[in-house]
């Protein structure tokens, strides 16, 4: 295969612009010319990017017979007449050069150079193309499933993207050939190869899904202030409307949940709380704890800690499964949230957990407080299985705590 055929092969389907391809091919041929003739000053390389045709011309000045002093730049009148009878002395004589005259070995070496240069340019083009698209939503097809990554073929460009398993949502399961949505997370060069990483767990993924489903967000009438997520479990999205006539929460949820349901399905039934943003810290914190209803709230701006008081039936809602709800509320608002159970008349003889620090280790008490149990009876109101599930404590530890608390009340009876 000669160089011109190589050029025709590589120019097809490439995103590299034509002037760049022409420049590369010219460079390759000028290198060939320099190796054979010592200089490329008196040569012209003409490339037709439409059909891949290439022409090489040797340009010399016509001089009278017997007066040639430099064969590289001059040609005798009689030799010029053989090329074209119209040439006269002092004219510039154009002589077409056959590529084959460079020799098979030189042509093969030049072809390898051409392949290498075009491949490098293509890699640079892919990097530049995706580097400007970080954060964009893509649709692709699962091309290969590997141990640590999934190879995804971009539906728009057919380029290969990497989806690490760490960027998959809990519950994600894909087969080869399945279509998948994700966002472009990072673009980097590794060993001179562009690596495009995509993600389904990044907060930006949820943001782009919302933009796709809610026209008011795309139009700029509703702004997403902040997103926090535990992928596949729960997410909280604070939104604000720039138009008083638009309810941002209602617009995002849609009629009978029509807009949010599609996103929830895409995120493997991830619970999504849409919250109306406000600069009022107290109200914002209360909204962030949805679906729980807060009875009272005390904010310490200096320490960024908040004491939240709830009725007993609201505590578990505020904390959420495995503490997900309170963690996300804290991340969303930027405050440390401490949950306290409101005492009713039946708990008037209750005892604060801090009073048991002589018998129960501090870190165990802190664990119990983190799930909203700050008194003896608030712990005892939960059954053993729930205490084990909601804390990181061992079964033996829970049993010991329950026995200590029960003995306190047995002794007082």
Nearest one of 375, 329, 368, 371 to 352, comparing CA atoms: 375
Tens of pLDDT along 227-251?
999 999 999 999 999 988 999 999 9
H-helix or E-strand spanning residue 208: helix 203-213
250 or 122, greater pLDDT? 250
Are 328 and 235 within 8 A, CB to CB? Answer: yes
- The size of the chain, in residues, is 413
Are 57 and 94 within 8 A, CB to CB? Answer: yes
Which pLDDT does position 344 carry in this prediction? 59
What is the DSSP secondary-structure string of 251-314?
Answer: HHH-GGGHHHHHHHHHTTS-EEEEEE--S-HHHHHHHHTTTS--SEEEEETTTTEEEEEE-HHH
CA distance 338 to 116: 62
CA distance 318 to 308: 10
Tokens representing 386 are: 């729930």
Report CA 51 to chain centroid distance, whole Å. Answer: 39
Please say if the pLDDT value at position 50 is more than 80.
no
* The overall pTM is greater than 0.85: no
For residue 273, what pLDDT band results from cuts at 50, 70 and 90? Answer: very high
CA distance 369 to 387: 12
Strands (E) across 20-123 are located at: 43-47, 54-63, 74-76, 92-97
Tens of pLDDT along 290-300?
999 999 999 99
CA distance 89 to 61: 8
Which pLDDT does position 188 carry in this prediction? 94
CA distance 251 to 209: 14
For residue 334, what pLDDT band results from cuts at 50, 70 and 90? Answer: very high
For residue 36, what pLDDT band results from cuts at 50, 70 and 90? Answer: confident
Tens of pLDDT along 129-148?
899 999 999 999 999 999 99
Nearest one of 334, 136, 367, 134 to 236, comparing CA atoms: 334
Are 222 and 214 within 8 A, CB to CB? Answer: yes
Nearest one of 133, 205, 141 to 169, comparing CA atoms: 205
Please say if the pLDDT value at position 8 is more than 60.
no
Which pLDDT does position 1 carry in this prediction? 39
């Amino acid at each position: 295969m000669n160089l011109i055929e190589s050029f025709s092969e590589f120019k097809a389907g490439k995103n590299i612009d034509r002037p760049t391809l022409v420049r590369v091919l010219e460079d390759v041929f000028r290198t060939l010319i320099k190796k054979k003739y010592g200089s490329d000053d008196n040569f012209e390389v003409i490339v037709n990017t439409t059909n891949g045709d290439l022409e090489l011309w040797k340009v010399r000045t016509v001089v009278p017979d017997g007066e040639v002093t430099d064969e590289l730049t001059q040609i005798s009148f009689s030799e010029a007449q053989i090329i074209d009878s119209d040439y006269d002395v002092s004219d510039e004589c154009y002589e077409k050069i056959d590529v084959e005259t460079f020799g098979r070995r030189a042509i093969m070496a030049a072809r390898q150079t051409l392949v290498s240069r075009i491949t490098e340019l293509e890699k640079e083009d892919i990097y530049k193309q995706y580097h400007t698209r970080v954060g964009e939503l893509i649709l692709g097809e699962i091309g290969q499933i590997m141990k640590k990554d999934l190879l995804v073929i971009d539906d728009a460009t057919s380029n290969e993207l990497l989806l690490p398993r760490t960027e998959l949502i809990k519950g994600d399961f894909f087969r080869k050939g399945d279509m998948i949505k994700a966002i472009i997370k990072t673009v980097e060069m590794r060993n001179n190869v562009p690596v495009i990483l995509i993600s389904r767990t990044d907060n930006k993924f949820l943001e782009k899904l919302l933009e796709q489903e809610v026209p008011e967000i795309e139009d700029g009438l509703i702004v997403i202030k902040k997103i926090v997520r535990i992928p596949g479990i729960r997410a909280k999205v604070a939104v604000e409307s720039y138009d008083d006539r638009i309810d941002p929460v209602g617009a995002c949820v849609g009629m009978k949940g029509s807009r949010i349901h599609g996103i929830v399905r895409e995120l493997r039934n991830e619970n999504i709380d849409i919250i109306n943003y406000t600069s009022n810290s107290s109200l914002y914190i209360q909204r962030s704890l949805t679906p729980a209803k807060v009875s009272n709230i005390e904010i310490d701006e200096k320490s960024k800690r908040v004491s939240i008081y709830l009725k007993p039936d609201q505590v578990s809602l505020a904390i959420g499964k495995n503490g997900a709800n309170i963690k996300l509320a804290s991340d969303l608002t930027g405050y440390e949230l401490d949950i306290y159970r409101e005492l009713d008349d039946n708990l008037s003889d209750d005892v604060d957990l801090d009073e048991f620090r002589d018998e129960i280790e501090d870190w165990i008490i802190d664990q119990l407080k983190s799930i909203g149990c700050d008194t003896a009876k608030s712990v005892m109101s939960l059954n053993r299985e729930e205490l084990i599930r909601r804390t990181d404590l061992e079964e033996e530890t829970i049993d010991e705590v329950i026995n200590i608390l029960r003995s306190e009340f047995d002794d007082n009876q």
